[in-house]
Amino acid sequence: MPLVYAGVCSHAPGITGRADQADPEVRDRFYAAFDGMRADIEESGAEALVVIAAEHFANFFMDNMPTFAIGMADFYDGPIEDPGWLAIDRFRAPGNRDLSRRIITEVMQTVDVSYAEEWRFDHGIAVPLHFVTPRFDLPIIPVNINCQGPPLTPLPRAWALGEALRRAADSVPERIAVIGTGGISHWPATPDSGKINEEWDREFLDRWCRNDHDALVDYDDLGIYADAGQGGFEIRTFVAVSAAAGGASGTVAFYAPIPIFAVGCTIASYDLA
Amino acid sequence: MSLYYVQKFLYELNRDPDLQAAYMADRRDVLRPYEVTEEEADALIGPDIGLLFHLGVNGQILMHFAALHQIEWADYLALMRDGVARHGPVREGVYAMTGYEGVDARRSRSESDEGA
């Protein structure tokens, strides 16, 4: 079936772990936008959710770092972090090994990916799922792009991954939704944590909403690091979703810098209709 | 220095409750399988969060090590700032960003393309 939903959201651990330290008014509007994303995905009739994430040394390390990895398991446990620190209880999210295998097989026709039959979700997936599938009743297909340990894949390759995921999603009978989670500008877990480049974020989101391929792949990592921090490398996940949206235009449902969450908090989606 | 092995130890520690228990029982002994220097070992045993940040440990790994030691978020950020103040800029890794090989190679290629 054609892809039924494509969107992006933030995943910073502070969104849940430091919730009580944020301005309640802004925080609650952000949470409401997450609720809107959940409602949209439910309304789409999605039977599985592809989550394109940028995990943070939870499963993948520099001894054998996959540029791209896709989960192929019937379940995924999380969070790998201390549940008290993240304020998300331990959970087991359903997967769908057979569906993953079909998706991976199709993606591999054009993009080399690693697969993982075991995968413990860190905050990069656990935080979005906490809001988007809080009952853990929607099978998840996790996709990872290495955005943490350079060298990192060039942005045109992230785009190619998104195109391949779209082709794969369209090729299976199930209704597939896809979300990307990452960036935008931020300096997470460093002395600069809390710094957010709103102007850079808004320019990026403008390119994202226009689904402007050339502008989206025009960033380079040195510039991203200077303007958007090492957390900005995670725009790869947003770029992949742009490609998966196949030229659709997007809308930002919510954007606001929330420094204690250490990121410009974002919820946005493409109009696939 | 051997940033890779420092980070590998922390990566494994973050994932493994048994290793966490062993580390808490004998911090030096658990480091024996890892190729770390005395300076690195002392920082891991201390723990010296500021020195580990200066040495180049990625914050996405380091923040969980701080949490294991019950260090609050604001204190964790302050310890990293203190480490940079005491020891100077980050020596290695993604934050050193004098340009790692991939970016330098790409930039120089891009400049030579523009020149041509």
Query: What is the domain-level CATH number for residue B81?
Result: 1.10.700.10
CATH for A5-256 is 3.40.830.10
How many whole angstroms separate alpha carbon A164 and alpha carbon A247? Answer: 14
How many whole angstroms separate alpha carbon A245 and alpha carbon A144? Answer: 18
SS3 A143: strand
**Over chain A, what is the mean pLDDT?**
96
Q: Nearest Cβ partner of B60 from A57, A85, A154?
A: A57
Mutation choice for A interface testing from B60, B77, B92, B106 by most A CBs within 10 A: B60
Per-residue pLDDT at B95 = 85
The answer to whether A63 contacts chain B (CB < 8 Å) is yes
Per-residue pLDDT at A183 = 83
Is B67 in Cβ contact with A150 (below 8 Å)? no
B contacts of A18 (beta carbons < 8 Å) = 73
Q: Nearest Cβ partner of B59 from A62, A85, A189?
A: A189
Q: In the structure encoding, which two tokens stand for residue A101, read together?
A: 């295998």
A contacts of B80 (beta carbons < 8 Å) = 190-191
The conformation of residue A87, written as its DSSP 8-state character, comes to: T
Q: What is the pLDDT of residues A20-42, one digit of tens each?
A: 999 999 999 999 999 999 999 99
Residues of A (137-176) whose Cβ lies below 8 Å from B = 148-152, 154
The dihedrals phi and psi of A12, each to the nearest 5 degrees, come to -55, 140
How many whole angstroms separate alpha carbon A259 and alpha carbon A88? Answer: 20
Is B11 in Cβ contact with A150 (below 8 Å)? no
CA distance A213 to chain B (A): 19
Per-residue pLDDT at B98 = 45
The answer to whether A20 contacts chain B (CB < 8 Å) is no
Q: In the structure encoding, which two tokens stand for residue A136, read together?
A: 């853990």
**Distance set, CA A43 to CA A37, A79, A105, B16, B70 (Å):** 10, 27, 28, 39, 42
Average pLDDT over residues B40-61: 96
Contact of A17 with A193, CB cutoff 8 Å: no
Best CA proximity match to A6, nearest among A31, A33, A37, A47: A37
How many whole angstroms separate alpha carbon A9 and alpha carbon A127? Answer: 10
Is B15 in Cβ contact with A58 (below 8 Å)? yes
Q: Is the pLDDT of residue B116 over 90?
A: no
The answer to whether A236 contacts chain B (CB < 8 Å) is no
The low-confidence residues of chain A, meaning pLDDT below 70, are none
Best CA proximity match to A236, nearest among A144, A102, A150, A110: A144
Per-residue pLDDT at B111 = 60
Per-residue pLDDT at B112 = 59
Residue ranges covered by each domain of chain A: 5-256
Q: Which ipTM was obtained for this model?
A: 0.88
Q: Which domain holds residue B104?
A: 3-115
Mutation choice for A interface testing from B64, B70, B71 by most A CBs within 10 A: B64
Burial of B108 (0-12, 13-18, 19+ CB in 10 A): exposed
B contacts of A191 (beta carbons < 8 Å) = 53, 77, 80-81, 84
Q: What is the pLDDT of residues B60-105, one digit of tens each?
A: 999 999 999 999 999 999 999 999 889 988 888 888 864 333 334 4
